Amino acid sequence: MMPEKTLPPQEEYQMDLDLLDLLKKIISFKTVAPPGSNYREIVDWLVPVFQEMGFATRRMVMPQEVFASRCQDSRLEGDRFNLKADLDLGADKTLVIYAHLDVVPAEGAWDTDPFQAVQKEGRIYGRGVSDCKGSIAALIAALRSLLKTGRTRYNLSVLLTTDEEVGGYSGLCYLTDLGEVKGDMMLCMDGFCDDVVIGSNGIITWEATVHGRSAHSGSSFLGINAVERSIPVMQALMSLKKEVQSRRSAVPSSSALEAMGMKSLKPMLNITMINGGVKENIVPDRCTLRGDRRVIPEESMEEAMQELESALKPLEAQMELKFYPGYPPMSVNPDHPWVSEVREAVQRGMGFYPRLSGAQGSLDQAYATEKTGIPTCVFGVGRQLESNIHGLNENVRATDLMGFARFLIELLQA
């Protein structure tokens, strides 16, 4: 049973119309990462939107020297624009609200234009409607409704940043290191609405390059075959994979994964890429394996890397092993009052009391949470098994989108 509506019917109807118009506009900015296009354009559009509501805004551009040293991805180009919008009402506490502006590429044969939010049969389709531009549209619509006649119960610090989708050093990480992520609690809107997420796995990308010596394949005994030498490496990794993936976290898995029999987060070790050889009749002198290690909150990133090194060290192969640590794991105390406050606002605004869970994936939010210690909840629009995030025909239920705006009103209203 849905709760009583917070806004008068006419105002609620107007907010819904405003929300759909906002979503269409925000989706139309092709903020695809990589390479990171239209970042300046979407931030320039958002600045007056927040200023009209009384926010003080700042365009936060990552310096080129920071970008060059921290974002080692040749696919990225252009300036990395981010937006910080603050509303100081003299309240006792400040709430930080975060979402990312970038989206993954929209490849394949979509049924609709991925950069035109199209509504049909109760759903809205478009790249980013669920991850996570729908939440940004809902936030603006909710704030407009609230601030038109009243005020929020907290001071607000809204962070709309870029490069979350490429991993590594995102705009949120940069603002965190600048000391610009400041508040008493934080809501990350880069999530789904099945559960309130209070934990996530960390990620380490690894690369193992096995060296050999090239020769004519007719006399292959004169060379050293790097592809064949990589087989024991893979076997050692697969043996370690079995051990790693037998572990479990205390953080519960999502509702969707629990329904599939997975009760809690688990660490992962994956071999996802292999590249070796240039021609069939040449003994390959190099073979590169790449993959990732997903780290549960009970593990440390350093120990996970040491474990990989220890597993491969006894092998005779001449090899280089490199690590590219990404976002750390995250775990928030489930008994923290902020967690209860968010769950209760979901119940009032969306009509259900959400369970707590963790994300098998990795979040740049975890970087901010680890560095600042701010208690954090992750809750967004879209459903884990329905919305096809990152896939063809990404979508969100219209009722979930409207419900998310109502949740925000319940959370923020004085």
Q: Residues 175, 43: one domain?
A: yes
Q: Work out whether the CA dihedral 70, 75, 80, 81 comes out positive or negative.
A: negative
Question: Do 22 and 106 have their domain in common?
Answer: yes
The stretch 358-371 carries a mean pLDDT of 96
Rounded Cα distance, 390 and 394, in Å: 7
> Is the Cβ–Cβ distance between 154 and 57 less than 8 Å?
no
> Domain holding 169: CATH number?
3.40.630.10
Least confident window among 145-154, 196-205, 241-250, 345-354: 145-154
Residue 179 shares a structural domain with residue 215: no
CA atoms within 13 A on the CB side of 11: 16
Picking from 325, 348, 365, the residue at the C-terminal end of a domain is: 325
For residue 6, pLDDT beyond 90 = no
Q: For the residues 325-336, what does the mean pLDDT come to? A: 96
> Would you list the DSSP string of 115-180?
TS-EEETTEEESTTTTTTHHHHHHHHHHHHHHHHHS-BSSEEEEEEE--GGG-SS-HHHHHHHHT-
Are 408 and 349 contacting, i.e. CB atoms less than 8 angstroms apart? yes
Average pLDDT over residues 66-85: 92
DSSP state of 59: E
Kindly state whether residue 296 falls inside one of the protein's structural domains.
yes
- Number of domains observed in the structure of the chain: 2
325, 358, 382: which is the final residue of a domain? 325
265 within domain boundaries: yes
Q: Pairing mode, if any, of strands 94-100 and 155-161?
A: parallel
- Could you tell me if 47 and 67 lie in one domain? yes
Residues 363 and 266 in one domain: no
What is residue 414's predicted lDDT score, i.e. its pLDDT?
85
pLDDT at 257 over 70: yes
- pLDDT for 362: 93
Place 1 in a pLDDT band, splitting at 50, 70 and 90: very low
- Range in 13-22, 244-253, 304-313 with the lowest mean pLDDT: 13-22
CATH of the domain at 262: 3.30.70.360
Contacts of 238 (CB under 8 A, 6+ apart): 271
Same domain, residue pair 71 and 166: yes
Question: Tens digit of pLDDT for each residue in 49-75?
Answer: 999 999 999 999 999 999 999 987 888
- Portion of the chain with pLDDT greater than 70, in percent: 96
Residue 214 clears pLDDT 50, i.e. is over it:
yes
Rounded mean pLDDT of 336-358? 97
User: What per-residue confidence (pLDDT) applies to 3?
Assistant: 38
Domain encompassing residue 320:
202-325
- Rounded to a whole number of angstroms, the distance between the first and last alpha carbons of the chain is 24
Within a domain: 3:
no
Residue 15 lies in a domain: yes
Q: Is a pLDDT exceeding 50 seen at residue 304?
A: yes
Is 128:142 a contact under the CB 8 Å cutoff?
A: no
The reply to whether 217 and 287 lie within a common domain is yes
Mean pLDDT score, 96-111: 96
Q: Could you tell me if 297 and 208 lie in one domain? A: yes
Statement to judge: residues 161 and 13 lie in one domain: yes
Global pTM exceeds 0.85: yes
Whether 12 shows a pLDDT value over 80: the answer reads no
Question: Residue 1 domain-assigned?
Answer: no
Written as one letter, the residue type at 221 is F
Burial status of residue 14 (CB atoms within 10 A of its CB: 0-12, 13-18, 19 or more):
middle
Mean pLDDT of 378-394: 95
Q: Are residues 36 and 176 in the same domain?
A: yes
Instruction: Supply the mean pLDDT for the chain.
Output: 94
Residue 8 has pLDDT above 80, yes or no: no
Question: Do residues 348 and 295 share a domain?
Answer: no
Domain end point (choices 293, 325, 357): 325
Position 49 scores a pLDDT of 98
Question: Among residues 29, 4, 23, which one has the least CA distance to residue 398?
Answer: 23
The answer as to whether 157 is a domain residue is yes
Does any domain span residue 338?
Answer: yes
* Contact between residue 217 and residue 282 where contact means Cβ atoms under 8 Å apart: yes
Cα(182)–Cα(49) distance, integer angstroms: 22
Residue 235 lies inside a defined structural domain of this protein: yes
Task: Give the confidence band of 316 by pLDDT, cuts at 50, 70, 90.
Answer: confident
87, 152 contact by CB (below 8 A): yes
> How far does CA 207 lie from the centroid of its chain?
23
pLDDT digits (tens, 9 = 90+) for 267-301: 999 999 999 999 999 999 999 999 999 999 999 99
Q: In the structure encoding, which two tokens stand for residue 302, read together?
A: 């350093």
Do residue 228 and residue 109 come from a single domain? no
